[in-house]
Amino acid sequence: MPLELGLVHQLFGSARRPSGPGAGSPLYDVVTCATEPGLVPTDADFPIHVSHGSEVIDGAGTVVVPASEGPGQPETGGPLSPALAAALARIGPGTRIASICTGAFVLAAAGLLDGRRATTHWRSAEAFRSRFPHLDLDPDVLFTDGGDVLTSAGEAAGIDLCLHLIRRDHGAAVAADVARRTVVPPHREGGQAQYVAQPVPEAGGTSTAAAREWALEHLERPVSLRELADRSSMSVRTFTRRFRAEAGCSPGRWLTRQRVERVRVLLEETDRPVDVIAGDVGFGTGASLRAHFRDVVGVSPGVYRATFRGGMPQD
């Protein structure tokens, strides 16, 4: 599927070193391989010529398996081909592995998802459960992050997963730059619903987009649900329902996520103390910021800052 293959190159290939020696240089070397070099058919009216065989997996830091379909593919119930099984066996210890959409079937068939939570495209969820009833499938989320093994839902969720990996590797500022280059949203959390009922407002309908834009401009102050609803000329109940339909999560969860993303950037780009940043982004206290940040990111603000700016962790 050309889109899912192309987005990996587009996103990782756009990541650039932001400053210092080598500023502007690529942060990833992206290489495509097949079980053997040559023409690979696609679901479009053109094939893709792949120059590399599976030997390039030997030195890979991350291996991404995109979706495929058609006779003989794992989603149809067949086992991995000997060539594909041999290629996956070349993945070395410590190598990060990710799948996009039904690429999760390949990881599952190879035993790489055993004991892990995974997702795939919602339309393939029942087929996945039927084939791999012992695995923990969550068909409602955009992606799952098990540390060294990650899975994502349909095509667009692959964009979210790639940006998530770039953010993990090089910080929020680099990921935001890649998102700007690609003209996509800089962040959608992995736990967001993969099927958003109303991503685009109906013609003549009312959207919550203006309220979200206003909230982003006023993150430093308390933002109430009533204020957001009033800015959309809706009742609180109607606003909450429409917000969830458009954004895929509740207004409160969305606000927390936006504040945490702002904290990431301030930790990376400024020396402001955590307690000061807490006031800048509307968390109120350093204790509140630390709790929310650790809940979302998984580490303390001090560890995060030390990771992306160097030095010893300080909170």
The active-site residue, picked from 33, 101, 162, 249, is 101
Q: Quick check: is 101 catalytic? A: yes
Give one DSSP letter per residue of the chain, joined into a string: -HHHHHHHHHHHHH-B--SSTTTT-BS-----B-SSSEEE--SSSS-EEE-B-GGGGGG-SEEEE----STT-GGGTPPPPHHHHHHHTTPPTT-EEEE-TTHHHHHHHTTTTTTSEE---GGGHHHHHHH-TTSEE-TTBSEEE-SSEEEE-SHHHHHHHHHHHHHHHH-HHHHHHHHHHHTS-S---TTSBSS-S-SSPPTT---SHHHHHHHHHTTTS---HHHHHHHTT--HHHHHHHHHHHHSS-HHHHHHHHHHHHHHHHHHH----HHHHHHHHT--SHHHHHHHHHHHHSS-HHHHHHHHH-S----
Residues involved in catalysis: 101
